[in-house]
Amino acid sequence: MENKDSSKGNFIRDIIDKDLLEGKNDGRVHTRFPPEPNGHLHIGHAKAILVNYSIAQDYNGKFNLRFDDTNPIKEDEEYVNAIINDIKWLGANWENRLFYASDYFDEMYDYAVQFIKIGKAFVDSQTAEEIRETRGTVTSPGVNSPFRDRSIEENLNLFEKMKNGEFADGTHVLRGKIDMQSSNMLMRDPLMYRIRHASHHRTGNKWCIYPMYDWAHGLEDSLEGITHSLCSLEFQAHRPLYDWFLIQLGVHKPQQIEFARLNLNYTVMSKRKLLQLVEEHLVNGWDDPRLPTLSGLRRRGFTPEAIQNFIYKVGVAKAHSIVDYALLEHSIREVLNKQTLRVMSVLNPLKVVITNYPVDQFEEIDAINNPEDPTAGTRKVPFSKELYIEREDFMEDPPKKFFRLAPGREVRFRYAYFITCNEVIKDKNGKVIELHCTYDPASKGGKSPDGRKVKATLHWISIAHAIDAEVRLYDRLITVPDTNNLEEGKTFMDFINPDALRILHNCKLEAHLAKAEPGYRCQFERLGYFCVDPDSTPQKPVFNRTVTLRDTWARMQKKS
RNA sequence: UGGGCCGUCGACAAGCGGUAAGUCACAUGGUUUUGGUCCAUGCAUUCAGGGGUUCGAAUCCUCUCGGCCCAACCA
């Protein structure tokens, strides 16, 4: 992980430093990531995972993965496998500490019985509507349930019958007995158990009552010996309740600390929106490279290291924020620039004929694999009379700052020769279909023996030696920065970028790329970083563009 | 509106009473056989606003303004 430097301050580390100084928890640090297996992980989860994990690591502590599977009707095994897979890939290591809330159902039940016995919980037989109505509002107090003063014996008896399946869903709940007047809504006799005759993906039909979040979560943390329970801001109001339950029980009480979740502009992160995109087939599944899901980013070509670096750069604080997508792009370019081999690929081919080059001649040109890494060596690239260049690299009537090929202009073909454009061939419609050029044999290797300068170096590929490929170009999913702040009557669906995916066929690649395995990453010189998609085969290679290179020329064009 | 939390450069974010770090973005210049990379420089006299305490305040007190969260038998 970039920057083992744990000196980068954040308020959570300050708290932990202080705890350690005071000798709390016998000097232990133990964190956890507790996803509910009801959806797929996205870059926002990566923050939660990585702050918990990196803190455990930096303090020589432990990190647990725990599935918070307390609601069987929303959860599924499919999600647990996907989540495990994503977290492993991300690089967080829970060693042998993979747990499930459902592992603790027996203990939670026993604690609940104990809770009833100390008079802190009661069985409420009001309907859901009655409970809602008597809870009051944020500005007005609630009123006590008529069942609040049931005897301990009656509560014990009823709760056991709840467990034994003698009641229908919704007929009874177990509630903590706190204060219906509390200014904190969560303290108004919170629900601890509800009846749910539903099969659980791990416990099957053993249970028909399931614990609610507030009762379950603190106990899970406590049972696992978690010291610092790091979660997102929306749980701040839950903390008094989290503490209250554990204090009544007299068990180990971890410290809950909340931080702001990650938001990224020009995309969507909510479970609901992601699900809608997938279900309405606006994207091709959870691993669609347009999505900010971990599986999508992986398929797009992101590396775990880039995501780790990104999360590190984002930092941890309590202020709500929306991070600029450009920071994510920078993070992936930074690692790919160092690691990735360069290759010359032409996405949008324009034929070039070198008129003074012998018809059946070809030569092997030496090309550098990675200028950032001398140990990456060189390779041979075939050069011949007929080549392709990028259509965008030629303009018949170029504007002032256009340095590339134009009639009468000389440029360098990278690693090969200086080339001059002499003639432009067009079809009946006036579309340029071919360029006739000449080369300067003295400029072999792309050098100019006479000190002649050219303003551009173009990539190219020999027609006879190139392979065809499909290339998928990606752009931002959403056209506006923040879908949580839209004008009246609009939803995020109104701002989906139709050009977020552009598929190019007949792209021309260096032949050795046919053998590249899915997941292989490289740089197409001057175009960006690309990786081989799982759809790819040696007969029909498919590449995804992870991210473009920074492009000063494109920016200049956009401005004017 | 009751309660809780938050407001430091365009975006993140350090800062913890001693005179505004860093990163991204942006701009300019240099290097360059990728208009990439790299290098250099610039980019908050000011910390939501007002008042107060202090020799000294982004940091402490106070009021005001703005934003977010809480009224699922979700997590």
Per-residue pLDDT 10s for chain A (560 aa) are 333 343 467 999 999 999 999 999 999 999 999 999 999 999 999 999 999 999 999 999 999 999 999 999 999 999 999 999 999 999 999 999 999 999 999 999 999 999 999 999 999 999 999 999 999 999 999 999 999 999 999 999 999 999 999 999 999 999 999 999 999 999 999 999 999 999 999 999 999 999 999 999 999 999 999 999 999 999 999 999 999 999 999 999 999 999 999 999 999 999 999 999 999 999 999 999 999 999 999 999 999 999 999 999 999 999 999 999 999 999 999 999 999 999 999 999 999 999 999 999 999 999 999 999 999 999 999 999 999 999 999 999 999 999 999 999 999 999 999 999 999 999 999 999 999 999 999 999 999 889 899 999 999 999 999 999 999 999 999 999 999 989 888 999 999 999 999 999 999 999 999 999 999 999 999 999 999 999 999 999 999 999 999 999 999 988 77
The one-letter amino acid at A58: D
Closest nt to A172 (CA→C1')?
B73
Of the candidates A279, A248, A278, A506, the one whose C-alpha atom is nearest the C-alpha of residue A287 is A278
Classify residue A1 by burial, with Cβ atoms within 10 Å: 0-12, 13-18, 19+.
Answer: middle
In this predicted structure, what is the pLDDT of residue A8?
A: 66
- Please give residues of chain A from 202 to 241 whose alpha-adjacent beta carbon (CB) lies under 7 Å from any atom of strand B: 210-213, 216-217, 233-238
Whether the complex's predicted ipTM is more than 0.95 is answered with yes
Could you tell me if A441 and A417 are in contact, meaning their C-beta atoms sit under 8 angstroms apart? yes
- The sign of the dihedral angle between the CA atoms of A26, A29, A30, A32 is positive
DSSP category for residue A238? G
For chain A, counts of helices (H) and of strands (E): 13, 24
3-class SS at A84? helix
Segments of A279-409 assigned E as strands: 341-343, 349-354, 362-368, 378-384, 386-390
CA distance A103 to A481: 42
Answer whether A63's CB lies under 8 Å from A56's CB: yes
Question: Tokens 């409420």 map to which residue?
Answer: A124
Helices A239-249 + A213-223 axis angle, to 10:
60
- d(C-alpha A345, C-alpha A348), whole Å: 9
Contact A318, A499 (CB under 8 A): no
The β-bridge relationship of strands A121-124 and A173-176 is antiparallel
Distance between CA atoms of residues A368 and A523, nearest Å: 12
**Nearest C-alpha neighbor of A329 from the set A313, A317, A345:** A313
Largest CA distance in chain A: 102
End-to-end Cα distance, chain A: 41
In this structure, chain A runs to a length of 560
Q: Any catalytic annotation for residue A36? A: yes
Token pair 């202009």: residue: A409
Q: What is the pTM of this model?
A: 0.96
| DSSP H or E stretch at residue A413 | strand A410-413
Q: Which residues partner with A31 through β-bridges?
A: A63
User: Which residue, counting CA atoms, is nearest to the C1' of nucleotide B10?
Assistant: A324
Q: Confirm whether A271 is a catalytic residue.
A: yes
Neighbours of A344 (CB within 10 A): 27
Among chain A residues 153-172, those with CB within 7 Å of any atom of strand B: 169-171
Q: How far apart are CA A279 and CA A271, in angstroms?
A: 12
CA–CA separation, A86 and A14 (whole Å): 30
A13 in contact with nucleic chain B (CB within 7 A): no
Give yes or no for a contact between A323 and A264, defined as CB atoms under 8 angstroms apart.
Answer: yes
Which nucleotide has the least CA–C1' distance to A194?
A: B73
Which has the closest alpha carbon to A297: A501, A45, A43, A91?
Answer: A43
Q: Which residues are paired to A530 by β-bridges?
A: A522, A545
CB A49 within 8 A of CB A90: yes
Domains of chain A by start residue, with CATH: 11-259 (3.40.50.620), 271-339+469-559 (2.40.240.10), 342-459 (2.40.240.10)
Within 7 Å: CB of A486 and strand B?
A: no
Among residues A196, A261, A351, A444, which one is catalytic? Answer: A261
Q: Specify the nucleotide whose C1' lies closest to residue A211 (CA).
A: B73
**Contact in structure between A390 and A350 (CB atoms under 8 Å):** yes
Is A99:A224 a contact under the CB 8 Å cutoff?
A: yes
Buried b or exposed e, range A419-429, using 16+ CB within 10 angstroms:
bbbeeeeeeee
Task: Assess whether A372 (CB) lies less than 7 A from strand B.
Answer: yes
Give dist(CA A18, CA A12) in Å, integer: 10
- Rounded to whole angstroms, the distance from the CA of residue A8 to the C1' of nucleotide B21 is 11
From CA A243, how far away is CA A119, in angstroms rounded? 18
A381: Cα within 13 Å, side-chain hemisphere:
25
Q: In this structure, is the CB of residue A321 within 7 Å of any atom belonging to strand B?
A: yes
From residue A442, how far is each of A379, A384, A445, A554 by CA, in Å?
A: 22, 16, 9, 32
Cβ(A348)–Cβ(A41) below 8 Å? no
Judged by DSSP in three states, A62 sits in strand
CA of A3, C1' of B32: distance in angstroms: 29
Nucleotide nearest to A259 (CA to C1'): B5
Phi, psi of A128 (to 5 degrees): -60, -40
Separation between Cα atoms, residue A452 and residue A443, nearest integer Å: 10
